[in-house]
Amino acid sequence: MNTFRKYIFPGLYGVINYLSIRLLLDTVTGMKFWERPFFLNGWEFSLSFLSGYLLLAIHHRLYRYFDKHWSNENNYRRRMLKELLIISVATLIFQNITLMPWAALTDDGLQWYDVADINLIPLLYSLIYYGVSRTNYFLQAYVSNKVKLQEVMNDQLQAELKFLKSQLHPHFIFNALNTIYFQMDEDVSAAKKSVEQFSELLRYQLYDQQQTVSIRHEIQYLHSFINLQKVRASDKLVLNVQFDPELYDQEVYPLLLFPLVENAFKYVGGEYWINITATLKKETIHFIVENAIPKIAMSTRAGGIGLENLKRRLQLLYPGKHTFDISKTERTFKAALSIQPEAVAYQTVTMEEDEDQMRHHR
């Protein structure tokens, strides 16, 4: 195909140009060009055959010039109009230099219809050839730009996800260290256990944000956090935690459930109870955290930076595949999250790989 386009088509292009001009001229004058002397038709065919190679060579030379000097032109419509203008002028000049003198020296000389046909017909074919040959170039350029734009957007989203993941609440870290500090004076073994749980929490932060993990590990993480919070929580705290065992084989992105539990422990008050439930219904994960709040807390806004970050991460990781609702009454605060795990589009981390990562980070 490339051989035909490069070595054969230009000659055919020139012959088609010539035959179109010849047939129109014969229609106007009543002449039959096949009745003309053989050598005259032979010369015209040869000239036309050669002119096809020359004209298309000019085309491609101009294309290279356009691509070299106008490659940064973002307005493709303006660029195409400029290219069409240059191609048109080049075609008209070429036809008037090569074919017009031949028409003046043959048959009945140069007539007005000779001038019209020699300029208009080759110009029409030239513009058609430009449209066909350059459409592929501009289509490839468009696709390439779209791919580059998508790569930039993906890089930006990855950077944003990493930033959001890194924002472990300083309030939680301070409270955990403060709890361990006071435990050291009262119960060293309990303090060691708290340090172990705290290290597990921090280690879990090292997971790749773009790899899914088993909910079993996510729940283990939540249990470690809850146990650490129970050490410093008031004895009157009533804690109800229910996790559906059917969830354990599901895969989710890490640290999506944690902000809801952290928020509940941070703002619990009033009657001092927290309910945490996770269920699987119709292939959808439902995670609900509800806690009592002091009556005075109604004046504060629902949630903090942790929930705002969670909303953004859900938009990036599960677009159109999740719901996240927050409701608040005079005495309670409730956050409900639903995720369709089949929306996962990135590589899944297996249980064995999870454990390997844990051992590696230790």
pLDDT digits (tens, 9 = 90+) for 43-93: 888 888 999 999 999 999 999 898 888 877 777 788 888 999 999 999 999
Contact assessment for residue 272 and residue 292, using Cβ atoms and an 8 Å cutoff: yes
The conformational region for residue 275 under phi > 0 = left, psi -120 to 50 = alpha, else beta, is: beta
CA distance 204 to 225: 11
What confidence tier does 343 reach under pLDDT thresholds 50, 70, 90?
A: very low
Strand pairing report for 238-243 and 273-281? parallel
CA distance 347 to 137: 35
CA distance 132 to 62: 15
CA distance 99 to 121: 12
Q: What is the structure's pLDDT at 285? A: 94
Quick one: which of 230, 174, 168, 248 has its CA closest to 201?
168
Arithmetic mean of pLDDT, 8-29 = 85
The conformational region for residue 239 under phi > 0 = left, psi -120 to 50 = alpha, else beta, is: beta
What confidence tier does 361 reach under pLDDT thresholds 50, 70, 90?
A: very low
* Residue 278 pLDDT > 70: yes
CA angle 92, 95, 98 (to 5 degrees): 145
Q: Whole-model pTM above 0.75?
A: no
Average pLDDT for the chain? 79
Q: Which domains does the chain possess?
A: 2-162 (no CATH), 167-361 (3.30.565.10)
* Residue 344 pLDDT > 70: no
Give the bridge partners for 125, in sequence order: none
Over the stretch 219-264, which tens digit does the pLDDT of each residue have? 988 888 888 888 777 788 999 999 998 888 898 888 888 889 988 9
* Residue 204 pLDDT > 80: no
Report which listed range, 74-88, 298-312, 321-335, is most confident: 321-335
Over the stretch 164-179, which tens digit does the pLDDT of each residue have? 555 555 666 777 777 7
Q: Which residue has the higher pLDDT, 313 or 151?
A: 313
